[in-house]
Chain A
Amino acid sequence: MTDSAAPLLVMHDISKRFGATQALSGVSFSVRAGEIMALVGENGAGKSTLMKILSGAHRPDAGSIHVAGRSYAPGSPQQARDAGVAMIYQELNLAPDLSVEDNIMLGREASRLGWLLRREQRPRVQQALDLLGHGELRPDAPVRSLSVGAQQLVEIARALVHDAKVIAFDEPTSSLTRQDVEHLFKVIRRLRETGRAIVYISHFLEEVRQLCDNYTVLRDGRVAGAGSLAGVPESAIVALMVGRSVEELFPTVPHAPGDVLLSVDRLSGRRFPVAASLELRRGEILGVFGLVGAGRTELIRSIFGLDPVKSGQVRVAAKLLAASPRAAIAAGLGIVSEDRKGEGLAQSRSIADNLTYSRLKPYSTLGWLRLGERRAIVESWMSRLHVKARSAEQEIAALSGGNQQKVALARVLHQDAQVLLLDEPTRGIDVGTKAEIYRLIGQLAAEGRSVIFVSSYCHELLAVCDRIAVMSRGRVTAVRDASNWNEHSIMEAAIAVDDSAGGGNERPSA
C-alpha cells in the first residue's frame, strides 16, 4: 500500500573517511514508511558508521540525507531526535534510578516555569506504552527494577514520545531472552503498522528473515546488494556479506602441531563463556571466530584469570591453572588485549616499561633495576618486531596503532609465553603490519609455541590457523580443521541461533 509513497528516509551517496580507512564510500540507502529494512554486514563493514551518521554522532564527508522529504543534517544526537530519528542501541541509554515516566520524558518534560506537570505527562506516557502493547508497565516504577526487555520498551517509548518517524535498532536482541525477542518483534511490527520507517541491524539472519521486509548488505563500506527478502536464500545473503575470495595477504610459516599443551574444560564465567571446552596443541594456531558479543573475549580472559570463573578448569601441560593473571603468566600464558588503549598498554608510559612490565626479574637485584641492560634487550625486541619509534623511552601514545600492537606482542614474547592468547591482534592496523603479524604468529608456532587467535575477520583465520573454533552466545559451537571450513560455513555457524543447550532464559546481568 505504501509502496508508491516516497521513502521516509533517504541516505544518498554517503562517504566517510577516518584517517587512512575509508569507512563508507558512496552508500545509498532508503526506507519507506511502513517498511522494516534489514541492514546486515560483517563487523567493520560500515553499519555502525552509517548509523552514527544517521544519529548525528558523525558527519558524512559527502552525500545527503532526507527525512520525510526534508533535508536532514544533524549536528548532534539531540538534533537527530528533534528531526524525528531515534536510535535504539544494544546498550540502553537509561537513567536507572529514575522512573519509567521520567525516563520516557527525559529532555521533553512537560513543565511550566520549571515545575513538572505530571498530569500532562502521564497520558502521553501511557499512550506511548499502549501503542507498544505494553500498557501494563507502571510509569512510576524505577527503571532499575525492570528486566532488560522491559527497559528496551522504555527506550522505544521514549522514541515515540519524541515523535520519531525513523527508528533504527542496532543489534537490539543480543542481550535479550528468547521470549523478550518475540515481544520485541511484536512491538516492531506494531511500529511498522503505524507508518514508521524501521531500520533493523542484526547479525542473526534468522531474525532478519522473521521480521524484515527488505535488506541492504554492506561490505567494506559499500552496498554489496539490496532487495526484497522474499524468496532469497540465506546463503545468498551470506555470500554478499563475505564477498570475494581470500586476498593474498596472509603469509604463513610451515609448522607442525605436537602434544596437547592447554586444555580448557567446561569453563564458565559470570555470563560468558558458557561451558566452553577447547584443546590446544604445542605449535598449533587455533582460531576462535564469532560475532561481536559471542563471548570470545570473555573466553580468553577467563582462561587467563582476568574475568571471574564460575566453574570449569584450565590445564597447562596437565597442571591445573589457578584463575589469576599472575598464575597464568607463571604458567607460561601471555595475553594481548583487544583494547590497546584501555587495557593492553599504559599509554603514558614508555615502550621499555610497557614491554617489560610482565617480567622485570631479569633486570632487578633486590628490587633495583639495571636500566641500561633492560634498554638493550628492549631495543633488540624492537628491532626484531620492526617497531618504529624514536627510542625505547618514547611514550606509547605517540606510536601508531600497528607499532603499539607490536609492543603488546613483544611483551608477551619477552615474558617467554608458551601459550599466546591474542584477542583481535590485527584490529585497527594497516595491511602491511597485519601481514607482519601473521608471519610472526606462524614463526611462533614453528618455534613450538601455541596460539589462540581470536578474530571477527574470518579470512585471516581461514588463512592462518590450523583449526578454528566458532562461538555463539558464549558457547563453543563447533571446532574443525581450518581446511574443513569456508567463509560461508563459518559465517553460518556463527550466525546460527543455538537454543538446544538452553540457558537462554537467564536474565543477563546489566
Chain B
Amino acid sequence: MNDRRPEPQFDDSDTIGSVLAKKWRYDWRVTVWLFTKTALGPLFIVWALFAVLDAFQQYGGSFAQIRSFQLIVVHTAAVAVPAFGMTIIIIAGGIDLSVGAAMALSATVGAWGFLHGHSPTEAVCLCLATGLAAGILNGSLISSLRVVPFIVTLGTMMIFQGAGRWLAADTPIRPPLASFAPLADFQAPFPTPAWHIFSPGVWIMLLLAVAVSLVLRYTVFGRYVFALGSNEATARLCGINVPLVRISVYALGGLFAGVAGVYQFATLYQGNPMGGVGKELRIIAAVVVGGGSLSGGRGSVLGTLSGAAIMAVIDHGCTTLGIGDMYQDILIGAIIVAAVAVDQYRQRKMAAAV
C-alpha cells in the first residue's frame, strides 16, 4: 500500500483541503492551483486592477500601501466571520437569511449588557449566547417543521429584528465608552502598538478561519456536514443522525453570527437592532463568490475569505478612486453573477467529462 504513487495531479474535483494535504511541502503547482481554481485568483486580479488604476491618478499610489491593506482587512473580517458560519450552513445544503438580523440582535444584547453594568466578558458572552440561541432556534424549526430553510430563516429574520427593536426600545443602544473600553480597539484598522499590524478582530478572524477549515476537514462532524449537503438520502442511509447534524450546523452558524455581533458593536460602539439589514446578502455573496454551491456539498473557508475580501477590495478601491456607491453595488452584483456562472460552467464541463 505504501508504494509512492506518481506525482499527484490536481483537477477541478479537488478541494483546497485535499490539495494542501497532498502537497504539504511547498510546491509551485499548489500556488498555481490556488490562483486558478479558487477565488484567490479573482481576488488578486481585482486588487491589482485597483492598484494600477489608482497609481495613474493624480496624488495616487495610496491603494497599494499598507494602510489601505489594513483598512481592507478590517472590512473583510466583519463579513468573513459570519460568512464562515454561512459556509458551513451552505455546505450542509441550507441557507440562513436571518444571519444579519441575528448579528444585529447579538450586538444589541451586548450593548444592553454594557449599559446595564455587566463586565465586558459577561457582555461578550451574552452576545455569543444570543447568536447561538438564534442558530439553535433556526435549526430546530427547520428540522422539526420540515419547512425549507429559506422560508424558516426569512421568518426568524423578522423575529430577531423585532426582538432587537423591542429590547432597544426602537433606538440604537449606546453604552458609555468606559463600560466597554477593552473592546474599543477591537476593530481599529491601525492598532497600537503598530507591530500588531492588524486589529485583534482580524487576528481572531484568521484564527477562526483555521479552526473552521480544520473542523470541516478533520472531524467526523465536518464529514457529516458535507455528506448532508451532498446527498441527504445517503446520509440517512449511512445512519447519520440528520436532525442532530442539521441543528448543530445552524447552531454553529448562529454562534458565528454572535461573534459577528461583537464585531459590529466594536465597529459602531452601539447596538443597533436594524444594523443587520442587507448584511445577510453580502454574507451569502461572500460564500457564493468563494465557490460555495447553493445546492450544497461544496464550499471552502479560503474561498469564503477570498469572497469577502473581493467585496472589501471593491468597496475600498472605489472609495479611493472616488467612484460612487452605486457603481460599487453594480460591480459587486456583476461579480456575484459571474462567479456563479463560471462555477456552473465548470460543473457542466466536469459532468460532461464523466
Q: Is B194 an interface residue (CB 8 A)?
A: no
Q: Give min CB distance, B76 to chain A, whole Å.
A: 28
Interface string of A306-346 (1 = CB under 8 A from B): 10000000000000000001101110000101000011111
Tell me the smallest distance from the CB of B169 to a CB of chain A, in Å: 43
Within 8 Å by CB of B226, from A325, A353, A358, lies A353
Contacting pair B13 A328 (CB below 8 A): no
Q: Are B18 and A411 in contact (CB under 8 A)?
A: no
B233 engages A343 (CB within 8 Å): yes
Q: Mark B216-228, 1 if CB is under 8 A from A, else 0.
A: 0111110110110
Give bound CA distance, A348 to B220, whole Å: 17
Q: Does B171 contact A (CB under 8 A)?
A: no
Which among A346, A360, A364 is the interface contact of B234 at CB below 8 angstroms?
A: A346
Distance (Å) between the CB of B60 and the closest chain A CB? 45
Of A114-122, A368-376, A452-460, A495-503, the stretch lying at the interface with chain B is A368-376
| A28 at the B interface (CB under 8 A) | no
Q: Are B18 and A393 in contact (CB under 8 A)?
A: yes
The interface bits of chain B over 237-262 (1 if a CB of A lies within 8 angstroms of the residue's CB, else 0) are 11111000000000000000000000
Which B residues touch A360, using CB under 8 A?
220, 223
A391 at interface, CB cutoff 8 A: yes
Within 8 A of A (CB), among B284-323: 297-298
Q: Report chain A residues within 8 Å CB of B298.
A: 348
Q: Please name the residue on chain B nearest to A398 by beta carbon.
A: B354
The answer on a CB contact under 8 Å between A326 and B234 is: no
Interface residues in B193-245 by Cβ distance below 8 A to A read: 217-221, 223-224, 226-227, 230-231, 233-241
Question: Could you say which of A353, A358, A379, A393 contacts B239, with CB atoms under 8 Å apart?
Answer: A358
CB within 8 Å for A357 and B235 given contacts A349-B297, A369-B220, A398-B13: yes
What 0/1 pattern do residues 360 to 393 of A give for CB contact below 8 A with B? 1000100111010000100110010000001101
Interface size classification for chain B: 35 or more
The answer to whether A346 and B297 touch across the interface, beta carbons within 8 angstroms, is yes
Q: Which residues of A contact B14 (CB under 8 A)?
A: 393
Contacts of B233 in A (CB 8 A): 337, 342-343
A388, chain B: closest CB distance, angstroms: 14
Q: What residues of B have a CB within 8 angstroms of the CB of A348 in the complex? A: 230-231, 297-298
Complex Cα gap A220–B18 (Å): 44
From B220, B231, B236, contact of A345 by CB (8 A) = B231
A340 to chain B minimum Cβ distance, whole angstroms, is 10
For B226, give the chain A residue with the smallest CB separation: A349
- The minimal Cβ–Cβ distance linking B1 to chain A, given in whole angstroms, is 5
Tell me the bound Cα distance from A138 to B1 in angstroms.
Answer: 71
Q: A371-B218, A376-B1 in contact; A326/B239 too (CB < 8 A)?
A: yes
Taking a contact as CB atoms under 8 Å apart, the answer to whether B1 and A380 are in contact is: yes
B25 within 8 A of A: no
Query: B354 to A397, Cβ gap below 8 A?
Result: yes
Q: Are B21 and A357 within 8 A (Cβ)?
A: no
Across the interface, do A353 and B219 meet the contact criterion of CB distance under 8 Å?
A: no
- Assess the A395–B1 pair: CB atoms within 8 A: no
Interface contacts beyond A348-B230, A358-B237: sample of 20 additional A-B pairs, CB < 8 Å, sorted by A: A306-B236, A326-B241, A342-B231, A343-B234, A343-B237, A345-B234, A349-B230, A353-B223, A360-B220, A360-B223, A364-B219, A368-B219, A368-B220, A369-B223, A371-B21, A371-B217, A371-B218, A390-B9, A391-B5, A397-B13
Nearest 8 A-B pairs (CB), nearest first? A346-B230, A357-B238, A343-B233, A358-B238, A329-B239, A346-B231, A326-B239, A395-B13
Q: Interface on A for B, CB 8 Å cutoff?
A: 306, 325-326, 328-330, 335, 337, 342-350, 353-354, 357-358, 360, 364, 367-369, 371, 376, 379-380, 383, 390-391, 393-395, 397-398, 411
